[in-house]
A = this chain, B = another copy of it.
Amino acid sequence: MRHYCGLFGVFGHPESAVLTSLGLYAQQHRGQESAGICTSDGRRIHRFADMGLVNDVFNPDRLRTLPGSAAIGHVRYSTTGSSCATNAQPLLFEFAGGQTCVGHNGTLTNAAELREEFEARGHIFQTSSDTEVIIHLLAAPEHQANPRPLASVLERVEGAFSLVFLFRDRVVAARDPHGFRPLCLGRMPDGAYVVASETCALDIIDAEYVRDVAPGEILTIDAGGLTSEHFGPEGLQRGGACIFEHVYFADPASDIFGDNVHMVRRRLGEALAREAPVDADLVIPIPNCARCAALGYSGASGLPLGRGFTTSHYIGRSFILPDQASRDLAVKMKLNVIKEAVRGKRLIVVEDSVVRGTTTRGKISALRRAGAAEIHLRVASPPLRHPCYYGIDFPDPQKLVARNRSVEEIRDFLGVDSLHYLSVEGMLGCVKHPQTDYCSACFTGDYPTQIQRPVEKLALERNGKR
């Protein structure tokens, strides 16, 4: 599983590119394969985007080539192959309305239909990204003629979309009517407004959290300040706040959907301890993600927390092994068991979630070899069984360990003495809003929107463009 996109935008600050690079850096966990920044100097737009981590793509020399007081930025996980650099966001387009940049977090579920419609009208597409249809809609004379062109465009697209736009004279942020992905508004000490996927991007630049961009809101930041407008249906019965952001994605320091992520994870661990207690010597988190949940489990159970693994400080960079080197080295290279700490111990191992299961199995096996007496696995979320159509790049459902296995079969596959997954109710009891405000479809299969034609990741790369 790869993280999938982080957004940032700022208007009215002389160091807009520097701030954006910091905001992206703080959200690097949301996308590690490409990074891009667009700035506007009021007359024209400057852009740079490339494959790589934020601090590889943007050094001070590069940032100096991006002048202007308005900027948007994007980090993303991107498909492999030659298409990468072309698809790196923010995308920049030029049409009759001038230059426009867009960065997108989420997935449009009707992008293929819209693209076919435009191709039939003779339009040429530059990327294989679903995001591009938004610009084709915007460039279309019928929307340009609309007094609220962006609202009329966003009412045509379906699915999950948190968006930041950069025009010559303004930054615009928008969130789909279900609010699948987070997006928040902050304010710099000097008054400049910023938007970001997560509040951790506000903290790094000392911006104060103002509020979330609301589902179905278009928020325009320009020289005149803030303007808000609404689009989409009124009174939706269901929200779509992604529960998986709390379980795994978001940074523990961030507040999203009205909750602090660390505190939610602690509560997930506490709920897990209540649902599935077991007598043991030590509670050990699988690094690094499950540390919050393990704290919660330890606190609620009264069992001492321990440390079973050292983590490499360099895991951001993959070590490419020669073919002849055995494959399971890859797991070893990311963590090393502290044998002395686990030998002869009865362990409760806490995981946030289990996707394919292979990595978890490797870690369990390493603990066994180091002499653990018993291993009880506790997972702070329910079994993952369904695809996400809203922007999280899970593997093919057939590869999910829980897809066609009972919990007992999974226990057997992972090689643990006991296994418990947190219940859906347990999970949704740890967050603030009513259950209907969240999308838990990857666990339950209950999707908040109709999915007419399931989106395949590469559906838009029909003939292998570029």
Contacts and interface: CB of A to CB of B under 8 A. Distances in A.
Interface of A: 15, 18, 22, 25-26, 28-29, 43-48, 53-56, 59-60, 63-65, 82, 92-96, 98-99, 119-126, 135-136, 139-141, 144, 168, 200, 203-204, 251-253, 255, 260, 262-263, 288, 291-292, 295, 298-299, 304-307, 309-325, 329, 332-333, 336-341, 462-466
Nearest first, the 7 closest Cβ-Cβ pairs linking A and B are A44-B464, A260-B340, A60-B322, A96-B119, A122-B140, A55-B319, A314-B316
Contacts of A95: 119, 122-125
A44 B63 CA distance: 35
A341 B260 CA distance: 9
A466 to B, nearest CB: 6
20 contacts: A18-B322, A22-B325, A22-B333, A25-B312, A25-B333, A43-B464, A44-B464, A45-B465, A53-B314, A60-B320, A95-B124, A96-B119, A122-B144, A204-B329, A253-B337, A255-B340, A260-B341, A295-B306, A298-B305, A314-B316
A138 to B, nearest CB: 9
Given A18-B322, A28-B313, A56-B317, 11 more contacts: A18-B325, A55-B320, A92-B465, A95-B122, A98-B463, A123-B139, A168-B463, A204-B329, A204-B336, A253-B310, A288-B313
A94 B333 CA distance: 35
B125 A323 contact: no
Contacts of A82: 46-48, 65
Contacts of A252: 307, 310, 338
Given A18-B325, A320-B60, A322-B64, A312 B28 contact: yes
Contacts of A53: 314, 317
B337 A124 contact: no
Contacts of A339: 203, 253, 260
Given A93-B124, A123-B123, A55 B263 contact: no
B305 A466 contact: no
A94 B460 CA distance: 11
A198 to B, nearest CB: 10
A28 B135 CA distance: 38
A466 B340 contact: no
Contacts of A313: 28-29, 288, 315-316
Nearest to A139: B122
Contact of A99 (B136, B307, B341, B465): B465
A123 B135 CA distance: 10
A316 B251 CA distance: 18
A26 B336 contact: yes
Contact of A323 (B26, B60, B320): B60
Contacts of A200: 310, 336
A316 B316 contact: yes
Contacts of A47: 82, 466
Contacts of A336: 26, 200, 203-204, 251, 253
A457 B357 CA distance: 49
A432 to B, nearest CB: 12
Contacts of A260: 338-341
- Among A46, A203, A314, max chain B CB count under 10 A is at A314
A311 B313 CA distance: 10
A314 B329 CA distance: 21
B262 A318 contact: no
Contacts of A263: 340-341
A320 B123 contact: no
B329 A22 contact: yes
A92 B466 CA distance: 7
A89 to B, nearest CB: 14
A55 B314 contact: yes
Contacts of A43: 463-464
A434 to B, nearest CB: 21
